[in-house]
């Protein structure tokens, strides 16, 4: 995608949440979280921002704040399937670029959205982001997903394990970051060409995907490239728990 070209941001938002029920409607400084996410997306230069939901309360909250919303089926197995349905409903062109922004990321750096979208091309149908890991504990944390790249900045592999393994450095110590070692943490932001977005739900799950519990491995397993935009700093965390919600509320209330 050429610099400055438009892209569409679709924000999947479900009311059900195991750890934080009703999360998209949680109040952040007088507005629902999903609306705050849409406001962030609006700062990215996106040509269109649409919330994808299967719940009338979320749709009503978006409408009340002037945010475009599209109702979807309730039985989608993933957010990617949900945004694919919306992209079809919007009748987006095959080469249109769609950014998948989760509805629990009210502090996302809007610059990342445009940077991720810009990595889509005729040769690369999917893109995502990463940042350098600075704490050695994160290298060994299975909840921190790592990614390794080829010379063109495309993903070779994603894993919950430490990759690449610094053989000599970790032979000396597992408690300090080896000199010159710069592993990358995956950021769960994605962009797709609409043509590939429609193809993705038809791809059979991959064995590696099942082992690592990482959906993006399905894309690599089927032979499609994923470009990775590397940013210098870690973005602000999303909202998964009540503690996360309290942290984000401080941003809006001071």
pLDDT at 181 over 90: yes
Q: pLDDT at position 5, please?
A: 58
The total domain count for the chain is: 2
Residue 62 shares a structural domain with residue 131 = no
Q: pLDDT at position 2, please?
A: 47
Question: Is 100 a member of any domain?
Answer: yes
Question: Is 199 a member of any domain?
Answer: no
Residue 80 shares a structural domain with residue 154 = no
Q: pLDDT at position 61, please?
A: 96
Question: Is 195 a member of any domain?
Answer: no
Q: Which of 52, 32, 50 is nearest to 42 (CA)?
A: 50
- Find the mean pLDDT for residues 57-85: 93
Residue 154 shares a structural domain with residue 95 = no
| Cis peptide bond upstream of 43, omega within 30 | no
Q: Is the dihedral of CA 145, 217, 37, 29 positive or negative?
A: negative
Residue 160 shares a structural domain with residue 212 = yes
Helices (H), 66-109: 79-89
Residue 145 shares a structural domain with residue 46 = no
Judged by average pLDDT, the poorest of 93-102, 153-162, 239-248 is 239-248
Residue-wise pLDDT for 212-235, tens only, equals: 999 999 999 999 999 999 999 888
CATH number at residue 175: 3.90.550.10
- Find the mean pLDDT for residues 55-68: 96
Residue 246 shares a structural domain with residue 148 = no
Residue 102 shares a structural domain with residue 22 = yes
User: What single DSSP character describes residue 154?
Assistant: B
pLDDT at 41 over 90: yes
Residue 40 shares a structural domain with residue 3 = yes
Question: Is 163 a member of any domain?
Answer: yes
Residue 156 shares a structural domain with residue 181 = yes
Residue 26 shares a structural domain with residue 42 = yes
Task: Give the residue numbers spanning the domain of 67.
Answer: 1-108+240-253
Residue 100 shares a structural domain with residue 79 = yes
Q: pLDDT at position 1, please?
A: 56
Q: pLDDT at position 16, please?
A: 75
Judged by average pLDDT, the poorest of 14-28, 74-88, 169-183, 237-251 is 14-28
Question: Is 114 a member of any domain?
Answer: no
Q: What's this model's pTM, rounded to 2 decimal places?
A: 0.93
3-state secondary structure 157-213: EEECCCCCCCHHHHHHCCCCCCCCCCCEEEEEEEEEEHHHHHHHHHCCCCHHHHHHC
Residue 100 shares a structural domain with residue 154 = no
Residue-wise pLDDT for 100-136, tens only, equals: 999 999 999 999 999 999 999 999 999 999 999 999 9
């Amino acid at each position: 995608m050429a610099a400055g070209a438009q892209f569409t941001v679709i924000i999947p938002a479900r009311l059900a949440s195991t750890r934080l029920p009703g999360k998209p409607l949680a109040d952040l400084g007088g507005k629902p979280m999903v609306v705050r996410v849409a406001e962030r997306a609006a700062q990215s230069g996106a040509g269109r921002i649409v919330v994808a939901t299967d719940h009338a309360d979320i749709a009503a909250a978006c409408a009340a704040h002037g945010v475009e919303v599209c109702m979807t089926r309730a039985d989608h197995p993933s957010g990617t399937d949900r945004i694919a349905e919306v992209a079809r409903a919007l009748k987006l062109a095959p080469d249109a670029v769609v950014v998948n922004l989760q509805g629990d990321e009210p502090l996302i750096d809007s610059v990342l959205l445009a940077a991720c979208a810009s990595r889509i091309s005729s040769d690369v149908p999917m893109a995502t982001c990463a940042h350098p890991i600075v704490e050695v504990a994160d290298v060994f944390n299975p909840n921190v997903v790592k990614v390794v790249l080829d010379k063109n900045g495309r993903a070779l592999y994603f894993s919950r394990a430490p990759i690449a393994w610094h053989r000599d450095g970790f032979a000396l110590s597992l408690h300090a970051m080896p000199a010159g070692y710069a592993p990358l943490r995956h950021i769960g932001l994605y962009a797709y060409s609409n043509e590939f977005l429609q193809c993705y739900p038809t791809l059979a799950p991959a064995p590696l995907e099942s082992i690592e519990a990482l959906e993006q491995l399905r894309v690599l397993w089927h032979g499609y490239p994923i470009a990775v935009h590397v940013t210098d700093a870690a973005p602000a965390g999303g909202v998964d728990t009540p503690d996360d919600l309290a942290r984000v509320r401080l941003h809006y209330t001071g």
